[in-house]
Amino acid sequence: MLDFTKAIEVAKDIYWVGKYIANDSFQCHSYLLLNGDSSVLIDPGSLLGYDDLVQKVESLTSIKNIKYIVVHHQDPDLCASIPQLENLINRNDLRVVTHTRTSALIKHYGIQSEYLHIDANDFQLRLSDARTLKFVTTPYAHAPGAFATYDEQTKTLFSSDIFGAVEESWSFYADENYFDLIKQFHQEYMPSREILNYALHKMEALELELILPQHGSIIQKKFIHGLIQKLKKLDCGIYINAEYKTELLKLQEDLESEKEKYKQTIKHLQTIIDMRDNMIVENDGNAMIASNQTFLDFFDKRSNQQFVDDVGCVCNKFIPVDDERYLSFETAQKRWAQYILKHPQSEYRVLLKNLSNQNITFRVQVKELPIKNKSNQFISTFVNITKELEESDLLQSLSSFDDIHYLIYDKARKKYKISNSLATILNLPITGEIKSIQFKEYLDKTDVYKLLKSRKKDTDKFEIHVNYKKKEISLMIQSYISYIDSSIQHVYILVDISMIKKIDLESKQKDIVMFQQAKMAQMGEMISMIAHQWRQPINAISASSIKLSLTNALGSLESVKIEEHALFVQNQCQKMSQIIDSFMNYSNNRSEDKNFHICDAIENVNEFVSAQYTTHNIKINVEKDCAVADVVFGRKDMLEQVLLNLLSNSKDALDGVKTNDKYIFIKHIAPKTIIIEDNAGGIGDSIIDRLFTPYFTTKQQGEGTGLGLYMSKKIINEHFHGDLNYKKIADRSYFTITLGKDIDE
């Protein structure tokens, strides 16, 4: 009798680690392939079996020895538990092995690990010299990226949904009646017999000793061949319904019979489709044959015949323009399509009036249709470039402003077209062009990278600094792709923000003053802490001195006693010195950014305040896990100041509460997160929205600056790229610090 509460070995180093759910006909299986610290977990399952899976794996090896998680398709019963497993395994080299079509979907579960795509790695995974996993694609059975995994060493096939079953009375191993159990599952989940057979042909070509499906029962060698032969004959998916099957087959026959008939028509239509979605006209050199709806709508005509009857040739609508690029009736006459083909140049344009009597400019393109036994058949497109020309005019207008400039990058020529204003700034001749490499000389490497990166995006916004004449100007850039001069080009609008940066610097200097005000207010409170912590060693020194004097007066003073008293006084003085050092470290505002442990900052602050808070009948409890993302980069004294301010606020709030059970919790049990919790009753809902505004305080006049929380949030936002937030639950306040700044490399 098998014990399903334990892992079950099914082949050498291969174990069933799934969960048996009683009275469930849809059992889901997970498997573990042991391979040292490169072990493989196959189809880990959903959260329903998560605890059982972890327990079974841990009974065989450490969960951290799993390096690969194979995911055969995207269903939640197969891979919903992966994010939890990632956190538990906690390996930077953990890889999720799957198909690219599958990874596009399973990323929505919140998976963070990198993918090892089977279709980019020759459809195999080499585990060791003696063991290689091969991947057999089974597309659309039942997902586009579905596949099965074959272990060459044990000749075991992890078949995913194929060979799966819905069993009312489930057994671990399949028997001779297993086909009756898998029949319904395959009929409902496999799209068609042809698709299923495509997968089965691949599988029967393998040397198989064992099949391990994700559902149903494990199949031993003696039943494999018979099951494959029966499945090959099974109608499933779209062919289950006999009426629909007949209709589908008839439709396929009809399509084949019509294929040749419409071959020329399809080729004709494809040529039209290949043209841009604008006004389209077909003519034979003498008259219009057809036109699309966009063309008819522009001229407010119901049909092509009505246009021909009312207007004749579209060339009759061409408005003369004194520019050789523009067609007119006199230039092209009625054979304007042939004229364009015989006189190729970079671009031909026409000017037409719309229904609102507005002039609209079109770029005209002509192609000859490749129709058998016919000649002089043309397709012409009229591309509306009015907005393009307006944009070009706008860019030219921008160059008249001192603080706004533009660049247009021509990828083919690797040149920038620049505005006159920017050419003036760079002390360049106003030629309108500058080589790409020449413009990069005005930028540092970081800004060059930003510029290159932006070319891969449809739109982007970023800041760069241009250096010229030993000066630097700051430019905010908005880039986008536009169609200019008959080609797609990247446009950059540059706005000089040097003055804004100067104002921002002045604002930051004001923040420094406010920072010092807040710090000085906090230092006043810290001095009272020093006085409190000095009181005990001073009293001890005084008592020692009195005892020494009385012993001397009684004539019983010994050198040993003098040494003991001297050592005692030295120890007390050392304690007082340490207290002063802590204060000096905090008050010194010249510390540098560097890596430090969050736990160290918490310990420093706790040691500094715990003694005083004890006299206020306040318990400070520290809960920390220094192994969880504990290191951050920055100034430790700034984080300590924030913590001191939050603790001081909690102490003040607790002083006003009449209870013997006062506590403050300092929690660091999540990555880069610190929570300060107290049971002082919480902050009133009416003032929560103003909590982090400057000079707002809940204390009585003269007792608070209103800068503490404002500066604390600003420090976390700007220096640590994190946030400080508050929430109230019942009678408790929770201030949450999240630190987002990465460790300095």
Summarised one tens digit per residue, pLDDT across range 211-240 is 999 999 999 999 999 999 999 999 888 666
Write down the pLDDT at residue 495: 81
Domains 8-239 and 270-384 alike in fold: no
- Residue 200 makes CB contacts below 8 A (sequence gap 6+) with 162, 228, 231, 232
pLDDT tens per residue, range 358-382: 899 998 888 888 776 666 788 888 8
Residue range 291-306: mean pLDDT, rounded = 89
Give, rounded to a whole angstrom, the gap between the first and last alpha carbons of the chain.
57
Write down the pLDDT at residue 397: 64
- DSSP string for 637-691: HHHHHHHHHHHHHHHHHHHT---S-EEEEEEEEETTEEEEEE-S----GGGGGGT
Q: Give the Cα separation of 176 and 179 in Å (integer).
A: 8
For residue 496, give the amino acid letter.
D
Residue range 514-524: mean pLDDT, rounded = 56
pLDDT tens per residue, range 386-417: 877 877 776 766 666 667 788 788 777 777 77
Higher per-residue pLDDT: 577 or 23: 23
Name the least confident of 57-61, 86-90, 540-544, 712-716. Answer: 540-544
Phi, psi (deg, nearest 5) at residue 13? 65, 15
Tell me if the bond preceding 142 is cis, omega within 30° of 0. yes
CATH number for the 270-384 domain, one of 3.40.50.10800, 1.10.8.60, 3.30.450.20, 3.40.50.300? 3.30.450.20
Residue range 429-442: mean pLDDT, rounded = 69
Q: Which residue has the tokens 């420093």?
A: 604
Residue range 713-730: mean pLDDT, rounded = 89
pTM greater than 0.85 (yes/no):
no
pLDDT tens per residue, range 652-709: 888 888 888 899 999 998 889 999 999 988 888 878 877 887 755 655 444 443 346 8
Range picked from 6-15, 256-265, 455-464, 678-687 for highest mean pLDDT? 6-15
CATH number for the 507-738 domain, one of 3.20.20.70, 3.30.565.10, 3.40.50.720, 2.40.50.100? 3.30.565.10
Residue range 290-315: mean pLDDT, rounded = 89
Torsion, Cα of 267, 270, 274, 278 (10° steps): 120
- Residue 125 makes CB contacts below 8 A (sequence gap 6+) with 40, 68, 97, 116, 118, 132, 133, 135
Higher per-residue pLDDT: 732 or 545: 732
CATH numeric code, 8-239? 3.60.15.10
Phi, psi (deg, nearest 5) at residue 718? -90, -35
Residue range 334-348: mean pLDDT, rounded = 80
> Band of the pLDDT at 77, cuts 50, 70, 90?
very high
Name the least confident of 100-114, 507-521, 546-560. Answer: 507-521
Higher per-residue pLDDT: 376 or 466: 466
Q: Give the Cα separation of 585 and 37 in Å (integer).
A: 46
pLDDT at 718 over 90: no
Q: Which element (helix H / strand E) includes 471?
A: strand 471-484
Write down the pLDDT at residue 566: 76
Supply 660's token pair. 């013997």
- Which residue in 534, 618, 615 sits closest to 577, CA to CA? 534
Q: Are the C-beta atoms of 583 and 530 separated by less than 8 Å?
A: yes
Domain boundaries, the chain: 8-239, 270-384, 389-496, 507-738
Supply 57's token pair. 């794996």
> Band of the pLDDT at 543, cuts 50, 70, 90?
low
pLDDT at 51 over 90: yes
User: Percent of the chain scored above 70 by pLDDT?
Assistant: 79
Higher per-residue pLDDT: 46 or 252: 46
Write down the pLDDT at residue 704: 43
pLDDT at 124 over 70: yes
Determine whether 642 is exposed, middle or buried from the number of CB atoms within 10 Å of its CB (0-12, 13-18, 19+).
Answer: buried
Chain centroid offset of residue 220 CA: 44
Phi, psi (deg, nearest 5) at residue 622? -105, 120
Supply the angle between the helices 498-553 and 559-587 in degrees, to the nearest 10: 170
pLDDT tens per residue, range 547-605: 777 777 777 777 767 777 777 677 667 656 666 665 555 555 455 788 989 998 898 88
Q: Are the C-beta atoms of 258 and 247 separated by less than 8 Å?
A: no
DSSP 8-state class, residue 111: -
Name the least confident of 46-60, 205-219, 300-314. Answer: 300-314
Residue range 230-252: mean pLDDT, rounded = 74
Write down the pLDDT at residue 405: 80
CATH number for the 389-496 domain, one of 3.40.50.300, 1.20.1250.20, 1.10.3720.10, 3.30.450.20? 3.30.450.20
User: Percent of the chain scored above 90 by pLDDT?
Assistant: 34
